[in-house]
């Protein structure tokens, strides 16, 4: 019996939509990362992009547990002198809430060429409106 290995151009892609309204950030990120990688498909192959497209809506309404709203910090560094910036989750939610969800999901996919191609299939939006109605995304329920 030969081992099956999926080919990226032969993988059927679906579109999924996740409503992050009042959902815990980590749970949303795990579900989205698994769908992006294709881990829930029987044809999953670790070194091939077998995943689907994922649309996350209501990113500003995602929930953080405990004291993370005030204590969790996001750091960025430009590479220049004095280019170190930090902000907490509350400030990031006000400024750009999509970044919170995107960063949580990005940390759960590989940090290489495969991960970059997987990450391109993620679409995150602040409100409940999105421009992907034509793709007819199926709703995902989080347990």
The strand order across the sheet containing 15-19 reads 122-124, 53-57, 15-19, 138-139
Which are the contacts of 69, defined by CB distance < 8 A and separation ≥ 6?
Answer: 88, 89, 90, 93
Give the C-alpha separation, 52 to 60, whole Å.
Answer: 23
Q: How far apart are CA 77 and CA 120, in angstroms?
A: 23
The two structure tokens encoding residue 3: 């081992």
Q: pLDDT tens-digit profile of 2-59?
A: 998 999 999 999 999 999 999 999 999 999 999 999 999 999 999 999 999 999 999 9
Domains parsed from the chain with CATH numbers: 12-63+97-139 (3.90.1180.10)
Q: What percentage of residues in the chain have a pLDDT greater than 70? A: 100
Give the mean pLDDT of 64-69: 96
Largest interatomic CA distance in the chain: 59
Q: What is the rounded CA–CA span in Å between residue 124 and residue 20? A: 10
| pLDDT exceeds 90 at position 1 | no
The per-residue b/e assignment along 17-53, b for 16 or more CB within 10 angstroms, e otherwise, is bbbbeebebeebbebbbbbbbbeebeeebeebbbbbb
Cα distance between residue 44 and residue 51, in whole Å? 8
């Amino acid at each position: 019996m030969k081992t099956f290995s999926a080919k990226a151009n032969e993988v059927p892609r679906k579109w999924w939509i996740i409503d992050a309204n009042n959902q815990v950030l980590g749970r949303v990120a795990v579900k989205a990362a698994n769908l992006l990688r294709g881990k829930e498909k029987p044809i999953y192959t670790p070194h091939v992009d077998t995943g689907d497209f994922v649309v996350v809506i209501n990113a500003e309404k995602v929930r953080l547990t405990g004291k993370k709203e005030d204590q969790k910090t996001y750091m960025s560094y430009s590479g220049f002198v004095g280019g170190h910036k930090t902000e907490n989750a509350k400030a990031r939610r006000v400024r750009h809430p999509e970044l919170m969800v995107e960063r949580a999901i990005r940390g759960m996919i590989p940090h290489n060429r495969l991960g970059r191609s997987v990450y391109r299939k993620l679409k995150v939006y602040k409100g409940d409106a999105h421009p992907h109605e034509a793709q007819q995304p199926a709703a995902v329920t989080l347990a």
